[in-house]
Structure 1
Amino acid sequence: MPLAKNKETASPATQYFAEVLRKLRERAGLTQDELGSRMNYTGAAVSSVETCARPATNEFIARAEEALDAGGLIAAASKYLRLERYPAYFQGFVQLEAEALSVSSYCPQVLEGLLQTESYARELFRCDFPPLDEEEVEKLVEARMARKVLFDRRPVAVVHVVLEEAALRQRIGGSTVTKEQYRYLIECAARPNVVLQVMPLDRTGHAGLRGAMKVIETPEHTPLVYLEGQGTSLLVSKPDEVSVLMRRHTMIRTQALGLTESVAFIEQLAGEL
């Protein structure tokens, strides 16, 4: 009875979404096959979501909302379901990031997730160890791409990213993926709410040597700092600790190349491929 086992072991949010979908479908007088036909899915696909055998994708959620004329109920039920696509240690930060007035990152090893292409993110997750299966990889890629709504939401968020040259030169996925990623970074840097800087390797030393960090400003104008590594994370909120990390991040920004120089640097790297 594998489906019953999935239903029993699924998270509360997954079970709640499945129940909302089922009740709305039944209220509309539709079978799983009929709903699937309206959504351009199979009845088996609808069944797999209702039994928690498979997670609902963004596309599935949007089509179900429309097909059932759900008045926002399915979208509302999916709010916490979407959070479960992220690792547990990252879920709290995702909620803060989605509402932040500004997000400032220093990235010494890999590129900022908000600025990753789908191909780069996919290859990055495939490098994980122990290895992830392809279904889990695709779930994580979709979740990472969903964070990009930050760029276009209202009120607009300011995104400031400092990338180490070493992170840029790491050819995740090979030359084709890397070149596509460079071009996307240049496109992102052209946005009026995005500032992109590069920390070149020829710096003899700088304030970022202790590792990656993210500084966010909440809607209440409260600064917080998020630290992450090896599947663990820490959200720093004590004012004195936040102050030290913010001053360190400010120094990192002053030591990196400016926006124009940084874009030119990335264009040069792209030209080398």
Structure 2
Amino acid sequence: MPQRLVVTEMSHEPRKRFAEELRRLRVERGLTLRDLASLVGWDPSLFGKMERGGTLGGPEVVQALDQYYGTGPLLLILWELAVGDPTQFKEQYRRYMVLEAEALGLWQYSVSRPPGVLQTAEYAREALMAGGLRGAELEQQVDARIGRRRVLEGDDPPPFRVILSELVLRNSLRNTQAWRGQLEFLLEAADRPNIALHVLPFGTGLHGLDSTDVMFLRLPDGRTVAYVENDVSGELIEETSKVDQLQRTYDAVRDLALSLAESRSFILRMLEEVPCEPST
């Protein structure tokens, strides 16, 4: 068997390859981070973090770098691969992330926090910090979580139905401006044609999902799988009978929730209660 040809010594891991390519392009042009910042914009510390793999940055930054270096869409393609790389997630989530990217339809019930696909970067950062993450690992997980939003974007995104417990809308962030941003993002999401957002208000009584987040994925092969998560663990469920039982429970909860119009009005009222001035 012929020996495998090694084309480059650069990493085959999407996130590392993106960082390596950024550094290679800058060094080949003899630029310092400050030089690059003055030519392209943004802070030199951001470019430093991107080259070290501490953050992926946003698509606007990456597009500006592509334009400056004359690399067409190369860096943006590498960025998209890095954002969508399931290895960024902890082991128990990886198979679920692969299936989520393939799903033809999604529906979810959330107990206390917005679904990851509907979180702003500020919300994701505070939530992950509350779980103990710091430094480079924190930024990597924020990037990974925000990257999940691509599932619901694009030219032909899958339908997504989500039920938010009222607790999601009451469990605010410490930073009021960041919390306003999260509520505004939920309102924006509720206006998208592929997203149906319901609120389950307090006072509807006990139900089968009181303490459990659940996400259903309808897959191309016709199967539906579920991912359930509570405060201590998460589990991917693929056995048909168990998924069917969870779906019946979900349907019962949906029957208790507000209509789409009522839910939008509910979130808008919550937004109006948030002070416009930043927290001190």
Distance 1:71 1:231, change over 3 A: farther
Q: What SS does structure 2 have at the residue aligned with 1:202? A: coil
Find the counterpart in structure 2 of residue 106 from structure 1. 109
Write the letter of the residue equivalent to 2:97: V
Distance 1:41 1:210, change over 3 A: closer
Identity, % of aligned positions: 24
Find the counterpart in structure 1 of residue 203 from structure 2. 202
Write the letter of the residue equivalent to 1:261: E
Give the counterpart of 1:96 among 95, 99, 106: 99
Unmatched runs of 5 consecutive residues or more in structure 1: 1-9
| 1:165 shift after superposition | 0.7
After superposition, residues 211-230 of structure 1 pair within 5 angstroms as 211-230=212-231
Write the letter of the residue equivalent to 1:30: E
Size of the alignment, in residue pairs? 258
Find the counterpart in structure 2 of residue 3 from structure 1. none
Find the counterpart in structure 1 of residue 77 from structure 2. 75
Write the letter of the residue equivalent to 2:28: L
After superposition, residues 1-273 of structure 1 pair within 5 angstroms as 30=28, 33=31, 37=36, 54=54, 56-57=56-57, 59=59, 67=69, 69=71, 75=77, 79=81, 82-83=84-85, 84-128=87-131, 131-230=132-231, 232-273=233-274
Alignment partners' CA distance in 2, 1:201 and 1:268: 15
Unmatched runs of 5 consecutive residues or more in structure 2: 1-10, 275-280
- Segment of structure 1 superposing worse, 211-220 or 230-239: 230-239
Deviations 1:1-51 (A, max 9, x none): xxxxxxxxx99565666677788x69xx9356499858779999989877x
Alignment partners' CA distance in 1, 2:222 and 2:159: 13
Q: What SS does structure 2 have at the residue aligned with 1:220? A: coil
Find the counterpart in structure 2 of residue 6 from structure 1. none
Alignment partners' CA distance in 1, 2:16 and 2:182: 37
| TM-score (structure 2 length as normaliser) | 0.74
Alignment partners' CA distance in 1, 2:79 and 2:271: 43
| TM-score (structure 1 length as normaliser) | 0.75
Alignment partners' CA distance in 2, 1:48 and 1:169: 34
| 1:270 shift after superposition | 2.0
Alignment partners' CA distance in 2, 1:31 and 1:112: 42
Alignment partners' CA distance in 2, 1:197 and 1:144: 22
| 1:229 shift after superposition | 3.5
Write the letter of the residue equivalent to 2:267: I
Deviations 1:111-164 (A, max 9, x none): 112222222222222222xx3224433332222222222222243211111011
- Segment of structure 1 superposing worse, 198-207 or 78-87: 78-87
Distance 1:180 1:73, change over 3 A: closer
| 1:226 shift after superposition | 0.8
Alignment partners' CA distance in 1, 2:193 and 2:161: 11
